[in-house]
Amino acid sequence: MDKLTTLAEAVASIPSGSHVALPGFPITRCAMAFAREVIRQGIKGLTLSQCVGAMDADMLVGGGAVVRLICGGGSLDKFGRLNCVNRGIEDGTLQAEEYSSLSVAFRYLAGSLGLPFMPIRSLQGSDLIRQIKERTGSDVADITDPFTGDNWLVLKPLLPDVSIQVVHTADAEGNAWIMGPRWDNVEQAKASKRTILIAEHVVSTEMIRQQAEKTVIPGLLVSHVVELPFSAHPTSCYREYDYDAKEIEKYVKATSTPESFKAYLDEYVYGVKDHWGYLEKVGGLKHLNTLKADPILGY
């Protein structure tokens, strides 16, 4: 089945208030074009989840699209912190449920396997678990191992309405290849009701069949396939393009106050019609070509 569509149509399939699993890891393979389109379309009230909070989540929070964030902390690596997320946590406008990387990954894993809960050794003896119990009450519990009698903390599965995946290669049906580390992406796709793929390259199903061992997301999980180059810009996409240090620095500076971020959104999100307009705005093909990855190094 051909699921090829535009980014605007794929994003329009997400109702306000949905739970969206985001694919980024601090400054790599973030769903940036997706985040910009969600903000342009005025979608609100989202719950976001990802193992480590990344630039895609920060932009969506700063753009006013998010009420709730489930993650294991996050940053923009050495470029800075998640200023919009942190501001939301500090002033109480964002409901943040903070775990660790593995506890969010295990919640997706439980969801992906159809299990009712997942035991974990993490979080014990920390303020993270105290805070999660205070804030959610129902997403964690203590049980007794029926075989040994030991006490275990168990986590409720995460079942997002939709996962967004920025992938290297996919066919029109949504069979997808991801190069490099995949952090939580595969478990996210399998735990979610459906997945929207944003692919750097769309190829024929015959091409996928030739190297099917590379397929990490099967097409049966996918509702929409969008072909969009540089969709993670200014973050990186391994073996495709490097991160754009100057544009990330600009973002970090802009997010330091709500006022300066509003100006940033006016220029880079509302001020352009779509992703193609954004790519022109940041320098077009001439600039983007300087970010192309070296085939040996991958960056």
Partner 1 sequence: MDFDYNPSELMAAAGAREIKDREVVAVGLGLPVVASFLAKQTHAPNMTMLFELGVIDPEPVHAGVGLADPRVWHRAKVLSSFVDILGSILHKGRVDVGFLGGLETDQYGNLNTTLVGDPRGKFRHMVGSGGANDIASSAKRTIIIMRHDARKLKKTISFVTSPGYVTGGDSRAKAGMSGGPSRVITDKAIFGFHPETKQMMVISIHPGNTIEDVVGTMGFAPVVPKKVPFTEPPEKEQLRIIREVIDPRKMYMG
> Which residues contribute to the site for partner 1 (CB under 8 A)?
25-28, 51-54, 71-75, 77-79, 81, 85-86, 89-90, 98-103, 105-106, 109, 120-128, 131, 150-153, 180-187, 235-236, 238, 242-243, 293, 297-299
Tell me whether residue 9 or residue 142 sits nearer to partner 1 (CB atom).
142
Task: Please state at what angle helix 258-268 crosses helix 83-91, rounded to 10 degrees.
Answer: 140
Please calculate the CA angle 77-82-85 and round it to the nearest 5 degrees.
Answer: 155
CB of 137 to partner 1, least distance (A): 17
Query: Does 234 sit behind a cis peptide bond, omega within 30 degrees of 0 on the bond before it?
Result: yes
Q: What is the enclosing helix (H) or strand (E) of 253? A: helix 245-254
CB of 72 to partner 1, least distance (A): 5
Question: How many other C-beta atoms can be found within 10 angstroms of the C-beta atom of residue 63?
Answer: 23
Nearer to partner 1 by Cβ, of 184 and 227: the residue is 184
Name which of 67 and 272 has its Cβ closer to partner 1.
Answer: 67
Backbone angles phi, psi at 277, to 5 degrees: -65, -40
**DSSP string of 72-101, one letter each residue:** S-B-BTBT---HHHHHHHHHT-SEEEE--H
Tell me the closest approach of the beta carbon of residue 138 to partner 1, in angstroms: 21
Least separation in angstroms between residue 49's CB and partner 1 is: 13
What gap in Å lies between CA 94 and CA 69, rounded to an integer? 7
CB of 46 to partner 1, least distance (A): 20
Query: Between 5 and 236, whose beta carbon lies closer to partner 1?
Result: 236
The CB-of-109 to partner 1 minimum distance in angstroms stands at: 6
For residue 79, the 8-state DSSP code is T
Tokens 């983007």 correspond to 288
How far apart CA 8 and CA 226 sit, in angstroms, is: 9
CB neighbour class for 91 (10 Å; exposed up to 12, middle 13-18, buried from 19) = exposed
**Of residues 276 and 299, the one with the C-beta less far from partner 1:** 299
Q: Mention every residue, 6+ apart, whose C-beta is less than 8 A from residue 179.
A: 168, 238, 239, 240, 298
Q: Do 193 and 264 meet the contact criterion of CB atoms below 8 Å apart?
A: no
Q: Shortest gap between Cβ of 182 and partner 1 (angstroms)?
A: 5
Indicate the residue among 37 and 187 with the shorter CB distance to partner 1. Answer: 187
φ, ψ of residue 167 in degrees (nearest 5): -120, 165
Rounded to a whole number of angstroms, the minimum distance from the CB of residue 271 to partner 1 is: 28
Of 183 and 268, nearer to partner 1 (C-beta) is 183
153/265 with CB nearer partner 1: 153
- First-to-last C-alpha distance (Å) of the chain: 34
